[in-house]
Amino acid sequence: MAPNADRSNLIPFSSRLFDGRALAQDVWSIFNAANLPADCINLGQGYMNFPPPPWVVEAADQALKQTLPNHYSHPKGRIRLREAIKNFYEASLNRSLDVETEIIVTSGANEGQYSVFTAFLEQGDEVIMFEPFFDQYLPSVTFNGGKPVYVPLHPDLSGEKPNSSDWRIDFEELRRSITPRAKMIIINTPHNPVGKVFSKEELEKIAAIAEEFNLLVMSDEVYDCLVYDGKEHVRFATLPGMWDRTVTVLSAGKAFAATGWRVGWLIGPEYIIKPTLAACTRIVFCTNSPLQEAAACGLEQARSRRFFETQLAEYQERRDILLAAFDKVGLKYSLPEGTYFVLVDISKLKYPDDYPFPESVRGRGKDFRACWFIAMEIGVSSIPVSEFYCEEHCSIGESYARFSFCKDVDTLRKAGERLQALANYIS
């Protein structure tokens, strides 16, 4: 070995890290609290600044004080939680569920999705994703040998009061995107980041295509409990023939304001759940036990406490506080029908040509610069939407910033007051 030889990169890492953007400086590291003013209000990242319901926290505390919940659970999930999932979701899925073969508990919805990709993707299999897409889909697909195929939702926000339903699928474009290598299609409803709740008609058209081309459907429904204004959430697996080809993805973190607990679950037919369980067992073995007990308690008591009805009203109040601020300052947005995100049109925002943007922002879309300016000068952070697109389609997202309203009302009111200063920068 030569003295002073460079030994910092002896072993090359896998190319899949490039394909999945895993090594790129992502939006979360750029708009990290450490890079922003200390008093900046974080409406960018989708986590709550309030705790889970106290009775669910108490259930976690009680589980920690017992012996068995502090040890390994069955890889399928603790039986109490699987029974709670069965009892809670059977009605909305219009079928009886088998806790042994049709339900698996995962370490967050994201790990559950990853396990499905591991179980079903061969090298070069194509996975259709609607843009803008939840950013974890991309590396999860590519790390498992899959090839993403991007189909953008097309916004028509020309009306006076645009709605998230105005982000539409071009079904001929979707059909053209399907090749003989197509294996899966991902549906996210309610949709992050758009807030769109897919209509039954849209889902039926997707179902017909899935049936025609024999596609496995991943229906990401983690925001199913956050649907506003009387809009109907249709479970994709309830459409004719779709149970047989659909895995439904759900989340305790979204349901009970406990995103750090990393507890989710998958529901589907045995032939999907069985190989997914095999993959999941090798990835994490099992999900943490005491918080499974707490999630079970949440589902068991949610109906008698009218928890989801109360929570929905609280989120609708939060949504309306933030939207009123954008109305007042004169910024257009897509009225979200679901989730806790709103896309705001920032295309008319003007900032000085010589503004000192950091290098990490200069090389990205104009929405990165706009969001950075808002964070630094207005004191409210958001997320640039072009991050959720492929390079070919990112211009669609460059006109929008994603703001989250999963914060307490005082924080949202304070953010709304700060956002009024944007009036000085709108052309």
- pLDDT, residue 399, reads 95
pLDDT band at 104 (very low <50, low <70, confident <90, very high): very high
pLDDT at 297 over 90: yes
Average pLDDT over every residue of 285-297: 96
Least confident of 82-91, 208-217, 247-256, 362-371: 362-371
pLDDT in tens, 135-177: 899 999 999 999 999 999 999 888 888 999 999 999 999 999 9
CA distance 182 to 139: 17
pLDDT band at 3 (very low <50, low <70, confident <90, very high): confident
State the first-to-last Cα distance of the chain, in angstroms, to the nearest integer.
Answer: 63
- pLDDT, residue 268, reads 98
pLDDT band at 1 (very low <50, low <70, confident <90, very high): low
Least confident of 25-29, 88-92, 311-315, 384-388: 25-29
- pLDDT, residue 9, reads 82
Q: How far is CA 265 from CA 104, 109, 241, 306, in A?
A: 6, 6, 22, 22
CA distance 308 to 392: 39
pLDDT in tens, 168-227: 999 999 999 999 999 999 999 999 999 999 999 999 999 999 999 999 999 999 999 999
With CA atoms as reference, report the closest residue to 31 among 339, 355, 403: 403
- Which residues lie below 8 Å from residue 284, measured CB to CB, with a gap of 6+? 106, 107, 111
- Which residues lie below 8 Å from residue 77, measured CB to CB, with a gap of 6+? 103, 104, 105, 106, 265, 286, 287, 292
Higher pLDDT, 215 or 29: 215
